[in-house]
Chains A and B, each alone.
Chain A
Amino acid sequence: MYVAVKGGEAAINNAHRLLADRRRGDRSLPSVTIEQIVEQLGLAVDRVMAEASLYDRALAALAVRQARGDMIEAIFLLRAYRTTLPRFGSSVPVDTAGMKVERRVSATYKDLPGGQLLGPTFDYTHRLLDPSLLTDPPVDEPERRSTPEEHIMRVSDILAHEGLIEADGEFSEDHQAGDLTREPLEFPMSRDLRLQALARGDEGFLLALGYSTQRGYGGNHPFVGEIRIGEVEVEIEVAELGFAVSLGRIRVTECQMVNQFKGSSKAPPQFTRGYGLVFGQSERKAMSMSLVDRALRAEELGEDITAPAQDEEFVISHSDNVQATGFVEHLKLPHYVDFQAELALVRKMRLDIEAARKGDRGELQEAAE
């Protein structure tokens, strides 16, 4: 006997309880602390902050812990919190030339003012699992530079001296930076909104799209002009004071791609820019972002739009992993009302075809007789 399924509420409560149990795992082991996640899983924290568009290491670590290490779930948690926060102003554009640089590499010059600084990179590690990390061996203090820090000029400024690279895009004096979390999205987008969308876009999606441009789908001949990672000052203009005050420092990764450009009806031959800026330390994301940013400038530069990475509506509509995961995963919600409608239709169509076949056979038989 069929009994209408009741008790969704109890089922949900029990599921949450089981989830909490699985999150905690073996109770005989100490629980991982927020401080441990911030300190030892820092790049996971960085990714969550970047794609949630909220710079708060402790809250991002809390989200990672609550999400059992599921990055998109953690990003979602932090975003859902961010959306409730009041917006009280826009910062002054961050000056990355004034960055306290920890890493800075350029692929376009052998040596340059400020030098090449490797910083904390995986780049030249041999990817051999380190058995010593199965325990907790002592780790040496890092080597610090003894000379006072110098101003490290941006590679794009070096090229700009010669007029070889296009100027940074110009916005009118009264241009207010857009915010796609506060305004409805419309196409075509201005570049500031597009960069915002890319900065919070899914790392994997942007990586794949950036990769596709390298493999011939909308290629733009990129060179890494510069990648720099370090701390920058965030300042905000206070109307009552009439000058900018510092809110503090944040760590960011900036990538400036320098791209060949043969010139078009709209612009002379010169190097063009692709730009990436991401919270925390994430070179992969910043580089992918700058490749995709450049690809998306195809229309502005009068290039043919032939590849997915150049298609703004396609890229931006699908770059948000919280939206994507929600809609993909909603397929597991009940759809039985619609499925019932489809069932009835398919049954009816099959009956029609069967009847038609029988009819044909009847006619054939008659003809044979």
Chain B
Amino acid sequence: MTDLATYNFAYLDEQTKRMIRRAILKAIAIPGYQVPFASREMPMPYGWGTGGVQVTAAIIGPQDVLKVIDQGADDTTNAVSIRAFFQKVANVAVTTHTKDATIIQTRHRIPEHKLAEDQILVYQVPIPEPLRFLEPRETETRKMHALEEYGLMHVKLYEDIARNGRISKTYAYPVKVAGRYVMDPSPTPKFDNPKMHRSEALQLFGAGREKRIYAVPPHTDVVSLDFEDYPFEIQTFDKPCALCGAENVYLDEVVLDDKGSRMFVCSDTDNCEDRREHGHVGAMLAPAKEAAE
């Protein structure tokens, strides 16, 4: 029987890491530009974060502290699985606290807590091409980026307004990076778009199946596309988080019974727990607290 190989630190071999690091450096040098890279077959399925995992594997060192979130939560199954993968193949320290992490790999959210300059946010990206839904051909969309030909995107946004009275894109809302490339921020809700703008943290985007890496360097302009008379707006919620009372954060809707009762809670579980530890109480927990007293 053939001997199975033992794996290198952070799974990828050093040559592959070097190839990915080169792509990352190029991506940082050209903010928002999608750099093709020779994406490897990873031991988890395509579409489940293989791009983000490869970026993280290429930049992580033994001293790093890793946080992995999916939908803003540290305990969603795929986040648990990816975190366990890096614990196994890189034996790095992991955390759920945004503040303590040096690398945060995410799917669909940006943490509520403002990121600092010594942190790197790694996004898992399913479809890196913001123009893909307007033009399915890669050969065409690359040309459009090269010529800075973004008229089609503006027409799409305009048609939205003409039909629906508003831009009906609620997530993966296109942005322009450093005044040049239109970029897909990955399927984060547009609520998170302003957090990308002039972020102190480095933001790296990995799309494994589509074999693309792109980046937003720290302090880079990231502007959501809009029109003067229809300015970009983010989602707002009527009520604060039911558990921690936070306002101006992104909330998940939780269905409580079959009679239509619902509650809204923080999508960012770490932020919510942190607030509760510091004595913030939402409507749902308040009665329980009073009863205990």
Contact = CB atoms under 8 A, between A and B. Distances in A.
Interface of A: 1-2, 4-9, 11-12, 34, 56, 58-59, 76, 79-86, 181-188, 313, 317, 322-323, 325-330, 333-338, 340-345, 349, 352
A185 to B, nearest CB: 6
Nearest to B43: A80
A329 B47 CA distance: 8
26 contacts: A1-B284, A6-B75, A8-B75, A9-B80, A58-B2, A80-B42, A81-B4, A83-B40, A83-B42, A84-B11, A84-B13, A181-B41, A322-B41, A323-B46, A323-B209, A326-B209, A327-B46, A333-B70, A333-B78, A334-B76, A337-B108, A338-B170, A338-B172, A341-B189, A342-B170, A344-B170
A66 B235 CA distance: 46
B171 to A, nearest CB: 4
Contacts of A334: 70-71, 76, 78
A340 B255 CA distance: 12
B38 interface: yes
B interface SS class: loop
The 5 closest A-B pairs by CB, nearest first: A326-B46, A330-B47, A341-B170, A184-B36, A326-B45
A84 B41 CA distance: 9
Report which residue of B164, B171, B190 has the largest number of chain A beta carbons within 10 angstroms of its beta carbon: B171
A182 B139 contact: no
B46 A336 contact: no
Contacts of A86: 13
B133 to A, nearest CB: 14
User: In which size bucket is the chain B interface?
Assistant: 35 or more
Interface string B157-184: 0000000110010111000000000000
B252 interface: yes
A38 to B, nearest CB: 11
A337 B5 contact: no
Contacts of B70: 333-334
B253 interface: yes
Interface stretch (B55-63, B197-205, B262-270): B262-270
